[in-house]
Chain A
Amino acid sequence: MTAVLPDRAERVAAAPAAEHRGPGGFAWIGLCAALIAGAPIGALGILALQGNAAHWLHLATAVVPYALHETAVLLGGVTVFVVVVGTGTAWLVTAYAFPGRRMLEVALLLPLAFPAYVMAYAWIDLMHPIGPLQSGLRALLGIERPAELRLPDLRSLPGAVLVFGLALYPYVYVAARAAFLARMTTLTEAARTLGAGPGRVFGRVALPLAWPAIAAGTSLVLMETLNDVGAAEFLGVTTLTTTVYSTWVNRSDLAGAAQIALAMLAIVLALVLAERTARGARSFAVGGGAQRALPPRRVDGIAGLGLLALGALVVALGFGLPTGHLAWQAALRLAEGHGGATLLPAIGNTLLVAVLATVAAVLTGLVLVEGRRLHPGSRLHAAVLRVATSGYAVPGTVLAVGLLVVLGGFDRAARAVVEFAGGAPTGLLVSASIGAVVLAYVVRFVRLAATQVETGLERIPPTLDQSARSLGRTPAGVMSAIHLPLLRASLAGAALLVFVDCMKELPATLLLRPLNFDTLATLLYGEAARGTYEDGAIAALLIVAIGLVPVAVLVRLGRPPATLEARP
């Protein structure tokens, strides 16, 4: 024991010296990621400068006040919806044991697989005055004419809140569930010992501890909502993004669209910063103590079935009904001999780009977040993290155009070099390649991975890092020996979110892909774009089915976390 002390002291003295060797691996990788993610945004900046400001008068008077209002109401409504539903369902499956809980745990993730616009189409089909639900209701009540029984129209702001909420609450559910499962056992048990009922435990212990995770999940939902064009237009909601879109597409004013998009990006970044500042230095990490699963409270009988029904209702609305409708449409089309030939290669392509992008995005996100965690106070690491993950806040179509400009510029430069050297003119190297699509996904979705890792790390006490560093571990050593085992569930969650979003991604896929390269999402969208989305029902179901695989893996990996093995 005595022999250890001087040794340890030596290492403590040696550790700070290592910091002076200049940027390490974390910083270099972070810088590269920031450069790659920053390039298309930079290109947008250049595009924006080429436009004039004349259209701002039009926007300020005719568009922005209204679009801002609709956007704010939509985002506000969706926030309330996803926080309540996402957190509530996560608490339901982690705090209580009731019949069917394990199934519900998985099922609650399923709406993730739905592109929001498909959810919108399916719900409009179901809820339309001459759709099955209202027709059935009229038949039941003996009413003949649709005009005599009028349910509220889903094509409205409240309808959009419902559709986006149902499609996106899993982002909060994933985050909150991981938070509830991890590291609050001791506090919860203490609260219980002191006589707190489930309500008090939830309100006074679990919720405050999970709050950073819930906030992070919600910010992802808000950016997804803000990014959407298809569902918003279909539901008759004018958001800032649909404004960008009509400026570009209908007025051929890409510069103007880039200006609005960058203004939006600035607003989003300001909000993110404000949230960070508000959260401040509050540390939610719980120090010490063994980590065990929180034993859920057993609820049997009618009450247990009641809890199951509550969760099942959310699954039914967010997944069961729209999927049932799609399955019915798909069955009709299969019976007519639709589908087939184009689907198989599309499945291969979808898996290829989604898997590549998921691996790349999760690794990049991990390195970025760990870089900041392991170099506390380093402005460089904080900055590269922020820049490298900003792609998620730019509307997908606009980001894709920025990337197009960058890749095209690269290809033109390469071509010029080859020709200068006397070589034959080449085609495209990076534009219109699978690599371009994967790159776009990573730039766009690395934020999803980073957020999951961040909320996971927040629950690992920094004292562990400090002890390890003082014992001579390098930053990479701390990451691999301490963080990675504890981050298993967070990494699995990150991979799931990125994978599923890659499968659904449209604007970048449509704009950057090579010839003859279809994914399930582009096949589905091809039909939706001509107004026959139900002809894409088979592709939509396949997206959902493939999404099930990582969901199952996640739930397995996400079960109560591994304990740190005590080293002899």
Chain B
Amino acid sequence: MTKVWYRLTAIVLATGALSAHGIAAEVNVYTTREPGLFAPLAADFTARTGIKVNTVFVKDGLAERVAAEGAGSPADLLMTVDIGNLVELVDKGVTRPVTSPALAAAVPAHLRAADGAWYALSLRARLVWADKSLGLTSVSYDDLADPKWKGKVCIRSGQHPYNVALVAAMIAHVGEAKTEEWLTGLKANLAKKPGGGDRDVARDILGGLCQIGVGNSYYVGLMRSGKGGAEQKTWGEEVAVVLPTFTGGGTHVNASGAALAKHAPNAAEAEKLLEYLLSPEGQKIYAEQNFEYPVRADAAVDPIIAALGKLTPDTLPLAEIAKHRKAASLLVDKVGFDR
């Protein structure tokens, strides 16, 4: 019983100590990136620098939390998995720019804010998965609305951020009216109501519920690597994966990224962490852990992902796509995509 009380006291004291910031060599990360994926990066960073990384995984409401905490916030580095959320942080005024020649050199210009307000850390592509027997080798996002796929397409909810970003990119390319037509066509092609997750698309294709579907690149890695078990390895290997492109553009990518918190008490450590995440070592862990595309041109892609084919990312700046997010979400409702 006393042990329990020691534990409780320790927890309470530890929390108190954390909120009273100013302890040397620490960095506090608020992240929407799932803890399992960030933990290896944090551990490696601590091993290299001796700087302790404290994290909290916040799914939704990251911007609201940092804004509510105000000047007393312990947050140093804010990380998101979606470019829309990242830009939202900047728009809400809870970040401050970092200008560093090392960072600018590591990240291509279209994957960071011009003033250093945010940096992309890793990329994932929105791909088409298909029944192997179709022999599909190339496809464009426009093709998804082709009536020849009537009743054959699977996809998760149109309001999921992955799909909202894809629709936003389409708006950026062809405008809202054309996107609405496309989305209506895609909706008409669906084999069933949108639902489930990305991996369910692979399962549904194998189960004969549909013939093609849309899923993210890293799920292919997760499944084919066998990290999710032998069963999922089969799902991953039994579907064909094609890298689609926009007509006259490249493949749609979304980015995870980071920004420095406006009131960061440990700004220097946060910058070090940001530099580490964009270093060849950090980028390597990104690629290995979650099968994402690194943003550094000189960092290697995981072999499973590399085997999918050469990625030609869409050249539209991510910030431009993020601007159309709201319109995309409204459009998804308007065409009744999830009905």
Interface residues, chain A, with chain B CB atoms under 8 Å away: 58, 62-63, 66, 124, 128-130, 134, 145-147, 153, 155-156, 233-236, 238, 242, 245-246, 248-254, 329, 332, 342, 348-349, 352, 397, 400-401, 404-405, 407-409, 411-412, 415, 425-429, 431-434, 507, 510-511, 513-518, 522-523, 525-527, 529-532, 534-535
Interface centre among B21, B36, B199 (most CB of A within 10 A): B36
Question: CB distance A526 to B35 under 8 Å?
Answer: yes
**Further 7 A-B residue pairs, CB within 8 A, beyond A434-B11, A526-B35:** A153-B192, A233-B160, A425-B71, A427-B74, A515-B55, A531-B198, A534-B229
Interface residues of B in 1-57 (CB under 8 A from A): 7-8, 11-12, 14-15, 18-21, 28, 34-37, 54-57
A527 to B36 alpha-carbon distance, docked (Å): 7
A254 to B21 alpha-carbon distance, docked (Å): 30
B95 on the interface (CB 8 Å rule)? no
Question: CB distance A66 to B339 under 8 Å?
Answer: yes
Question: CB distance B68 to A407 under 8 Å?
Answer: yes
Complex: chain B residue closest to A328, CB-CB = B229
Tell me, rounded to whole Å, the shortest Cβ–Cβ distance linking B6 to chain A: 11
Contacts of B229 in A (CB 8 A): 329, 332, 534
Tell me, rounded to whole Å, the shortest Cβ–Cβ distance linking A25 to chain B: 28
A507 to B235 alpha-carbon distance, docked (Å): 32
Question: CB distance B207 to A130 under 8 Å?
Answer: yes
Contact with B56, one of A233, A342, A352, A514 (Cβ below 8 angstroms) = A514
Contacts of B228 in A (CB 8 A): 532, 534-535
Tell me, rounded to whole Å, the shortest Cβ–Cβ distance linking B170 to chain A: 15
Given known pairs A427-B20, A532-B228, the reply for A432 and B12 (CB within 8 Å) is no
Given known pairs A129-B207, A411-B69, the reply for A252 and B326 (CB within 8 Å) is yes
B72 on the interface (CB 8 Å rule)? yes
Question: CB distance A250 to B196 under 8 Å?
Answer: no
Question: CB distance A428 to B72 under 8 Å?
Answer: yes
Given known pairs A146-B207, A432-B74, the reply for A124 and B200 (CB within 8 Å) is yes
Stretch at the interface among B141-149, B296-304, B327-335: B327-335
Interface residues of B in 193-241 (CB under 8 A from A): 193-200, 203-204, 206-209, 219, 222, 228-229, 235
Can you report 17 A-B residue pairs in the complex whose CB atoms are below 8 A from each other?
A128-B200, A147-B208, A236-B193, A251-B326, A252-B91, A252-B326, A254-B64, A397-B60, A412-B71, A426-B72, A427-B74, A433-B19, A510-B59, A527-B34, A529-B59, A530-B290, A534-B228
Contacts of B194 in A (CB 8 A): 236
A516 to B225 alpha-carbon distance, docked (Å): 29
Interface residues of B in 91-112 (CB under 8 A from A): 91
Contacts of A238 in B (CB 8 A): 338-339
B317 on the interface (CB 8 Å rule)? no
Question: CB distance A404 to B68 under 8 Å?
Answer: yes
Question: CB distance A348 to B333 under 8 Å?
Answer: no
B252 on the interface (CB 8 Å rule)? no
A529 to B35 alpha-carbon distance, docked (Å): 10
Given known pairs A129-B209, A146-B207, A236-B193, the reply for A510 and B58 (CB within 8 Å) is yes
A529 to B206 alpha-carbon distance, docked (Å): 23
Complex: chain A residue closest to B165, CB-CB = A250
A167 to B64 alpha-carbon distance, docked (Å): 31
Tell me, rounded to whole Å, the shortest Cβ–Cβ distance linking A352 to chain B: 6
Question: CB distance B65 to A511 under 8 Å?
Answer: yes
- The total of Cβ contacts below 8 Å across the A-B interface reads 204
Complex: chain A residue closest to B67, CB-CB = A408
B309 on the interface (CB 8 Å rule)? no
B164 on the interface (CB 8 Å rule)? yes
Complex: chain A residue closest to B21, CB-CB = A427
3 closest Cβ contacts across the A-B interface? A236-B195, A408-B68, A129-B207
Question: CB distance B35 to A518 under 8 Å?
Answer: yes
Contact with A156, one of B68, B164, B193, B206 (Cβ below 8 angstroms) = B193
A77 to B164 alpha-carbon distance, docked (Å): 31
B159 on the interface (CB 8 Å rule)? yes
Contacts of B88 in A (CB 8 A): 252
- Interface size (B, Cβ < 8 Å)? 73
Q: Mark B151-165, 1 if CB is under 8 A from A, else 0.
A: 000000101110010
Contact with B12, one of A242, A434, A516, A527 (Cβ below 8 angstroms) = A434
Contacts of A254 in B (CB 8 A): 64
Contacts of A523 in B (CB 8 A): 35
Question: CB distance A433 to B157 under 8 Å?
Answer: no
Tell me, rounded to whole Å, the shortest Cβ–Cβ distance linking B65 to chain A: 6
Complex: chain B residue closest to A397, CB-CB = B60
A245 to B332 alpha-carbon distance, docked (Å): 14
A327 to B55 alpha-carbon distance, docked (Å): 29
Given known pairs A146-B206, A250-B164, A252-B326, the reply for A514 and B197 (CB within 8 Å) is no
Contacts of B265 in A (CB 8 A): 427
Tell me, rounded to whole Å, the shortest Cβ–Cβ distance linking A408 to chain B: 3
Q: Mark B56-88, 1 if CB is under 8 A from A, else 0.
A: 111111001101111111100000000010001
B126 on the interface (CB 8 Å rule)? no
Tell me, rounded to whole Å, the shortest Cβ–Cβ distance linking A252 to chain B: 5
Contacts of B61 in A (CB 8 A): 397, 400-401, 404, 511
Contacts of A128 in B (CB 8 A): 200, 203, 207
Contacts of A516 in B (CB 8 A): 14, 18, 54-56
Given known pairs A250-B161, A415-B71, the reply for A522 and B57 (CB within 8 Å) is yes
Contacts of A535 in B (CB 8 A): 36, 228
Contact with B330, one of A248, A251, A511, A532 (Cβ below 8 angstroms) = A251
A526 to B265 alpha-carbon distance, docked (Å): 27
B336 on the interface (CB 8 Å rule)? yes
Question: CB distance A62 to B334 under 8 Å?
Answer: yes
Question: CB distance A515 to B56 under 8 Å?
Answer: yes
Question: CB distance A405 to B68 under 8 Å?
Answer: yes
Tell me, rounded to whole Å, the shortest Cβ–Cβ distance linking A251 to chain B: 4
Tell me, rounded to whole Å, the shortest Cβ–Cβ distance linking B118 to chain A: 15
Given known pairs A236-B195, A332-B229, the reply for A412 and B34 (CB within 8 Å) is no
Question: CB distance A431 to B60 under 8 Å?
Answer: no
B187 on the interface (CB 8 Å rule)? no
Given known pairs A431-B69, A526-B34, the reply for A155 and B208 (CB within 8 Å) is no
Given known pairs A62-B334, A517-B15, the reply for A348 and B60 (CB within 8 Å) is no
Contacts of A431 in B (CB 8 A): 68-69, 72
Contact with B199, one of A408, A527, A531 (Cβ below 8 angstroms) = A531
B284 on the interface (CB 8 Å rule)? no
Complex: chain A residue closest to B57, CB-CB = A526
A499 to B129 alpha-carbon distance, docked (Å): 43
A233 to B200 alpha-carbon distance, docked (Å): 13
A415 to B196 alpha-carbon distance, docked (Å): 45
Question: CB distance A428 to B69 under 8 Å?
Answer: yes
Contact with B57, one of A400, A510, A531 (Cβ below 8 angstroms) = A510
Contact with B325, one of A250, A342, A433, A511 (Cβ below 8 angstroms) = A250
Contacts of A124 in B (CB 8 A): 196, 200
Tell me, rounded to whole Å, the shortest Cβ–Cβ distance linking B197 to chain A: 5
Complex: chain A residue closest to B325, CB-CB = A250
Complex: chain B residue closest to A409, CB-CB = B68
Tell me, rounded to whole Å, the shortest Cβ–Cβ distance linking A151 to chain B: 11
Contacts of B199 in A (CB 8 A): 531
Tell me, rounded to whole Å, the shortest Cβ–Cβ distance linking A358 to chain B: 15
Complex: chain A residue closest to B235, CB-CB = A130
Complex: chain B residue closest to A341, CB-CB = B39
Complex: chain B residue closest to A403, CB-CB = B68
Question: CB distance A401 to B64 under 8 Å?
Answer: yes
Tell me, rounded to whole Å, the shortest Cβ–Cβ distance linking B166 to chain A: 12
Question: CB distance B198 to A511 under 8 Å?
Answer: no
Contact with A250, one of B36, B69, B206, B329 (Cβ below 8 angstroms) = B329
Contacts of B65 in A (CB 8 A): 404, 432, 511
Complex: chain B residue closest to A252, CB-CB = B88
Tell me, rounded to whole Å, the shortest Cβ–Cβ distance linking B173 to chain A: 19
Contacts of B55 in A (CB 8 A): 515-516
Interface residues of B in 298-328 (CB under 8 A from A): 325-326, 328
